[in-house]
Structure 1
């Protein structure tokens, strides 16, 4: 390439990355694997969103929810971080099934599962997806979406 050669370089510009390889900020190849500890941590955090003692603990939720968090609720409503923090406490009767944790980058993971919740004597089933980001002070929930499953 004439432009690249004029700058004194050789070969392809920009250099081609190996297919499927991601890079960290300093240019080293980054693993797309999460440790078993990270997987367990993310599962515990997700489960904590379904336990009344943590879900309605404002300090815990403020630590977990990223500053720009939002959710597409099962009803179709969009919830902001403040909406989520302001939900009144109530008993939670739910089970989580088929939980999967997938790394999307070295510091971002998706957690998917099916929730089965009994609310007002009605069973509500939803497919759920959460995006988590790891920072210096731990994992934070960026986004959550619930899609109702028709019976």
Structure 2
């Protein structure tokens, strides 16, 4: 069971890291496969976003971010909460991040995401 958990954790971390890649963030097709149709986000900017907001020509826009301190917590048999830190290289800002991922139709998709600015690294 622990081996399954660490395998799942590694997979979901890869999905989170994939969402930071410019070629994924700027592709509405890629974003559509990673985000649930009812996805929403409370951004660190204070904006609220939905999946439809990212389905335009530029997708979610390219970023230069580094993920660290990744952890994952089970919420149910098909839902997990991820928590981690992001350093935005361009803005030189640190944020705390959390996402809820749901498993359906043979794949994991992000349902919710939140970014909260913090004063610096911990």
- Matched with 2:111 is 142
Cα-Cα RMSD: 2.0
The total of aligned residue pairs comes to 118
Report whether the alignment pairs 1:55 with 2:21. no
Given that 1:34 and 1:106 are in contact with CA atoms closer than 8 Å, whether structure 2 keeps it comes out as no
Secondary structure at the residue paired with 2:72? strand
TM-superposition CA deviations, 1:42-76 (whole Å, max 9, x none): 00100011011222222111111111100000111
Report whether the alignment pairs 1:97 with 2:106. no
Where structure 2 has 5 or more consecutive residues not aligned to the other structure, the ranges are: none
Secondary structure at the residue paired with 1:35? helix
Structure 1: 4+ residue segments shifted above 6 A: none
Report whether the alignment pairs 1:107 with 2:50. no
Given that 2:66 and 2:89 are in contact with CA atoms closer than 8 Å, whether structure 1 keeps it comes out as no
Give runs of aligned pairs for residues 11-30 of structure 1, distance below 5 A.
none
Q: Which has the higher strand share?
A: 2
Query: RCO higher in 1 or 2 (8 Å CA, sep ≥ 6)?
Result: 2
Structure 1: how far apart are the matches of 2:45 and 2:53? Answer: 14
- Taking structure 1 as the reference length, what is the TM-score of the superposition? 0.71
Structure 1: how far apart are the matches of 2:75 and 2:57? Answer: 30
Structure 1: how far apart are the matches of 2:19 and 2:56? Answer: 14
Once the two structures are TM-superposed, the CA of residue 37 in structure 1 deviates from its matched residue by: 2.2
- Matched with 1:12 is none
